[in-house]
Amino acid sequence: MNGIDSTTLIKAASAIGAGLAMIAGIGPGIGEGYAAGKAVEAVARQPESQGTVTKTLLIGCALAETTGIYGLFIGLALLFFNPLL
């Protein structure tokens, strides 16, 4: 029978899964760009609130970036931490 052996199937599935995990980087990029744009608008309207807006923006962007970092870690784990290969 001309089938695919299990090691090749696992490698292929891991590569596809890692590629799909990298899609997780799109969300934080869009979200952080949108948040930064709104922060600029807020500071332009009320310059005296710059400190508060900046602090809130940095905390929000840090929280949003964790999603992309989790996706990166999962992608790397699928590629390099597979005990069967």
Note if the pTM is more than 0.75: no
33: confidence class by pLDDT, cuts 50, 70, 90: very high
Residues 6 or more apart whose CB falls under 8 angstroms from that of 61 comprise: 32, 35, 36
Kindly report, residue by residue over 71-85, the tens digit of the pLDDT.
Answer: 999 999 988 887 766
Structural contact between residues 42 and 53, judged by C-beta atoms closer than 8 angstroms: yes
pLDDT at 40 over 90: yes
Residue 37 has pLDDT above 90, yes or no: yes
Predicted local confidence at residue 53, as pLDDT: 94
Q: Cα Rg for the chain, rounded, in angstroms?
A: 20
User: Does the pLDDT value for residue 20 go beyond 60?
Assistant: yes
pLDDT of residue 46: 94
Reading the block at residue 26, the tokens are: 């799109």
